[in-house]
Amino acid sequence: MDYFYCLLACAAYIALIWGLPRVLAEEVFPLLRWLHWGTSALCLLALVLPVLTLGDWTFRSLGLFCGVLLVSGLLAGTRRRMQVTRVPILATMQAVLVGLAAPLLFKLSLGSTSSDVAYTDSNYTVTVKEGSSFMDNDPVPAELEIYRSRLLFFDQYLGHIGRDNLYEPRPKLKAWWQAVSAISFDADSNRGVAWHEGVAVPFGVNPPYLSGDKLRAAEPAHRITRPASTETYISEADRVYT
């Protein structure tokens, strides 16, 4: 069955490359060029930005990336067939490489859905992921993470959202965030507010690469207190080294 699916996906990819030039008019040639360059540049950014940002910026979803990669390969092959590309060897290589991976790309682009997303809007996305541990017997808390949308197709990782009950079941935690209508976040203080069923619930975010601290939920503003400064005086009799 898998072998038949691979053949079907490759045949569909080749049929599109051979069939599109027969039905497309010359007026769409400039549009094809810009779409080809745009999708190719987007795929390149998807590979480069995570490296430049040390993993903080990632492509929004694997399925979306595979879909963009497929469209880029199809446009490269179509332009090569139409002989409207200035660098035919690069277009041929791109079309062939994407065609070899077409079965996997088709499968991921059509069937890849993020089951971890608990909340999303135009600015932020909150995911609830299963925790991982080397010891099977140890209970592992779910990972509650928040991302900020960047450049329409990318997400910037902001950190873990703290909470009082670290071992709250993942389905219950996800259901709570699915009932959130809107959130706001202040990057300077790493604190935000989630509007859950009309109630403003504050939360704190543990920034990336901050290790050694237990994640905690943000306290309400009226409960946050600043510790009073204390000074310690040392007499000359107690001083042993200066």
The pLDDT score that the predictor gives to residue 91 is 95
- Measure Cα distances from 191 to 49, 64, 116 in Å: 26, 30, 22
Question: What is residue 217's predicted lDDT score, i.e. its pLDDT?
Answer: 47
Q: Which helix (H) or strand (E) holds 58?
A: strand 57-59
Measured CA to CA in angstroms, residue 113 lies from 9, 116, 117, 122 at distances of: 20, 9, 9, 18
What pTM value is reported for the model?
Answer: 0.73
Residue boundaries of the structural domains of the chain: 2-111, 117-223
Q: Are 64 and 43 in contact (CB under 8 A)?
A: no
Q: How many residues are present in the chain? A: 242
Q: How many CA atoms lie within 13 A of 5 on its CB side?
A: 8
- pLDDT tens per residue across all 242 residues of the chain: 478 888 899 999 999 999 999 999 889 999 999 999 999 999 999 999 999 998 889 998 889 999 999 999 999 999 999 999 989 999 999 999 999 999 999 888 876 566 789 999 999 999 998 876 555 556 678 889 999 999 889 999 999 998 888 888 899 999 999 999 999 999 899 999 999 999 999 999 998 865 434 444 444 433 333 334 334 444 555 556 66
Beta bridge partners of 203: 192
